[in-house]
């Protein structure tokens, strides 16, 4: 499944829907999350990760600020990876996504499994960042379904849960 299979324009207003056909063969439609909601959730998550990281880090034993910054950058990457993997696997949502009422789902409607989460959150996000150029993230600006590269690798989408009454769809939450 590629974003071209949905035959739509980029999701700027949140009106685009994703149709999922899970094993129970009951077709479900979900509004796709907007780029604005995805960026907002990511910024919230970065603030939370920054707070967690600053609580865990101490610079007392480090020789210089340069060393402290290097250790902090490495530690921040580790903290962020654990954070995104944990919340995406167990909830399909990070706290930022929960706040903005968006959720990661598999195209086939099944629950996220470890393989999908690791492809999306570890391998996919490393590739999406491409030496800090973030081309994989910028791709969502031209994707018809607002998918970043890590979504494409894992065959996932980010849907909106906030407009369920308007769209009369079934929410994936159990």
Render pLDDT for 46-64 as a digit per residue (tens, 0 to 9): 999 988 877 776 555 555 5
Render pLDDT for 138-171 as a digit per residue (tens, 0 to 9): 999 999 999 999 999 999 999 999 765 343 333 4
48 touches 95 (CB < 8 A): yes
**Rounded distance between C-alpha atoms, residue 133 and residue 143, angstroms:** 18
DSSP state of 122: I
Q: Where are the beta strands (DSSP E) in the chain?
A: 17-20, 28-31, 102-106, 156-160
0.85 surpassed by pTM: no
Question: Domain residues of the chain, as ranges?
Answer: 3-167
């Amino acid at each position: 499944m590629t974003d071209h299979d949905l035959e739509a324009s980029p999701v700027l207003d949140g009106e685009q829907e994703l149709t999922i056909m899970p094993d129970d063969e009951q077709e479900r439609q979900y509004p796709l999350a907007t780029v604005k909601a995805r960026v907002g959730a990511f910024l919230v998550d970065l603030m939370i990760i920054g707070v967690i990281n600053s609580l865990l880090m101490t610079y007392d034993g480090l020789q210089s600020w340069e060393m402290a910054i290097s250790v902090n950058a490495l530690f921040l990457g580790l903290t962020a990876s654990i954070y995104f993997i944990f919340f995406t696997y167990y909830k399909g949502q990070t706290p930022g996504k929960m706040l903005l009422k968006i959720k990661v789902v598999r195209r086939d409607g099944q629950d996220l499994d470890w393989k999908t989460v690791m492809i999306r959150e570890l391998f996919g996000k490393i590739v999406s960042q491409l030496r800090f150029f973030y081309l994989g993230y910028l791709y969502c600006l031209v994707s018809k379904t607002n998918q970043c590269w890590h979504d494409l690798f894992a065959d996932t989408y980010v849907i909106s849960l906030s407009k369920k009454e308007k769209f009369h769809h079934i929410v994936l939450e159990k």
